[in-house]
Structure 1
Amino acid sequence: MSTPWILGLTGGIGSGKSAAAQHFIDLGVHLVDADHAARWVVEPGRPALTKIVERFGAQVLQPDGTLDRAALRQQVFQDEAQRRWLEGLLHPLIFAEIDQYLAQADSPYAILVSPLLVESGQHRMTQRVLVVDAPEQLQVQRSMVRDGSSEEQIRAILKAQSSRNERLRHAHDVLVNDRDLAWLKQEVERLHHFYLTLSGGQA
């Protein structure tokens, strides 16, 4: 059996990329979530967590020994050098983790879902990129409903994420998700059937 090719799936906050990802899973596509990989590499007992504690101290741990992400974020948010150190430690581990899970795929193609697919360089692990896109106002509305966050908070996240133009520049396919879930599901099925005809992700 030939090795599955890899589709990168990304989109800004509130674009509906998680809903799209779930539809692909329902169709039997092997999917790896970069956010999950980022959590796995810092689980208790993993070398990365030990190194983080050595550098930042025990205040970045929760009472149960797991990583206190908020505390760590505060330490690195203000300090460019610390942030770079942390990214230097975690990014190669996250890449290796993703790679290992993608290698287990038994579907004709596999998907790497990552909100930071472009910024993190993870798009280089893929043969094709699908961007789930939505008008910004709709992204804000959806995110406010889902997370109970304020409009300011959501707009700040949108600013921090890769600009839409940068994402779209890397896209081979764009799914504009501005309708309902039934429509999204149809679009995912249409793309899935198209992807099954591709060899190595190229038409």
Structure 2
Amino acid sequence: MIEEEAEPEPRENAKIIGVTGGIGSGKSTVSKFIEEAGFPVYYSDVRAKTIVNDDAELQEKIKKLLGENAYDENGFYNRRYVGEIIFKDEQLRLQLNALIHPAVKIHFKNWVAEQTSEFVFKETALLFELKLNESCFKSLLITADDNARLKRVMDRDQKTYREVEAIMDKQMAEKEKIKYADFVIYNNAGLDELKRETEKVLANLKVIS
């Protein structure tokens, strides 16, 4: 009789590593490298985009804040409409974040409880802005020169220089993020170098764990 290999038990105290970076920095690419190395990655920003459609209670709260047009005729989150409103109104943007992020936080907590790895990685654009780094074991910032980030987003999203610049202006300055980060990867030299730098961070984490 062949014994089946037992499933790994979830860890009670997995070490959370926050992964962040401004628009066009390459944080999603680094997160993919981390996954390829065998570590679980939670994509907070992706989850936030789905939870607004999955969570009925959250939907009602968003409609109350932004109006019925926050969802289209098919009942799906009207991302373009919402984006236009909150881009012009900082208070509305903060209020919307205050609705969405607690729901993501609960989902993340449940996700962590299911993991078996010593390290779990949480990718989020607002790691430092929301002080989420305070609940992390370590934080990793991916950054790059402003011109490189601008060009990447313009090519990727077909946005104009001014449109991307306006988005960047609303984000925390890179020099401020660097002050908070435990590890910093500068993404200015191509994918091969970016992967090598990611591997260095992973190796360092194993040493200090």
Normalising by structure 1, we get a TM-score of 0.88
Q: Kindly tell me: are residues 51 and 23 of structure 1, through their superposed partners in 2, closer, same or farther at Cα, counting changes over 3 Å?
A: same
Structure 1 residue 174 displacement after superposition: 0.7
The residue correspondences of 1:117-196 to structure 2 (distance < 5 A) are 117-196=127-206
Q: Kindly tell me: are residues 84 and 176 of structure 1, through their superposed partners in 2, closer, same or farther at Cα, counting changes over 3 Å?
A: closer
User: CA–CA distance in 2 between the matches of 1:82 and 1:11?
Assistant: 23
Instruction: Name structure 2 gaps, 5 residues minimum.
Output: 1-10
* Identity level (%): 26
* Amino acid paired to 2:116: D
Secondary structure of the residue aligned to 1:118 is coil
- Post-superposition CA distance 1:140-186 (Å, at most 9, x none): 11111111111111111111111112211111111111111111111
* Amino acid paired to 2:191: L
RMSD of aligned residue pairs (Cα, Å):
1.9
Structure 1 residue 195 displacement after superposition: 1.3
Matched, 1:72 2:87: no
Structure 1 residue 96 displacement after superposition: 1.5
Instruction: Name structure 1 gaps, 5 residues minimum.
Output: none
1:140–1:154 Cα contact (<8 Å) kept = yes
Secondary structure of the residue aligned to 1:197 is helix
Matched, 1:95 2:108: no
2:12–2:113 Cα contact (<8 Å) kept = no
Normalising by structure 2, we get a TM-score of 0.86
2:63–2:70 Cα contact (<8 Å) kept = yes
- Post-superposition CA distance 1:13-65 (Å, at most 9, x none): 11111111100010111111111231233124531012222443322112221
* Amino acid paired to 1:70: R
Q: Kindly tell me: are residues 29 and 151 of structure 1, through their superposed partners in 2, closer, same or farther at Cα, counting changes over 3 Å?
A: same
User: CA–CA distance in 1 between the matches of 2:69 and 2:88?
Assistant: 17
User: CA–CA distance in 1 between the matches of 2:57 and 2:132?
Assistant: 22
Please say which of residues 171-180 and 31-40 is displaced more in the overlay.
Answer: 31-40
Q: 1:20 aligns with which of 15, 30, 41?
A: 30
Q: Kindly tell me: are residues 198 and 68 of structure 1, through their superposed partners in 2, closer, same or farther at Cα, counting changes over 3 Å?
A: same
Aligned to 2:120: 110
Structure 1 residue 77 displacement after superposition: 4.2
1:108–1:196 Cα contact (<8 Å) kept = no
User: CA–CA distance in 1 between the matches of 2:116 and 2:132?
Assistant: 21
* Amino acid paired to 1:161: Q
Secondary structure of the residue aligned to 1:41 is helix
Structure 1 residue 80 displacement after superposition: 5.0
1:7–1:112 Cα contact (<8 Å) kept = yes
Please say which of residues 174-183 and 100-109 is displaced more in the overlay.
Answer: 100-109
Q: 1:37 aligns with which of 47, 68, 89?
A: 47
Structure 1 residue 138 displacement after superposition: 1.0
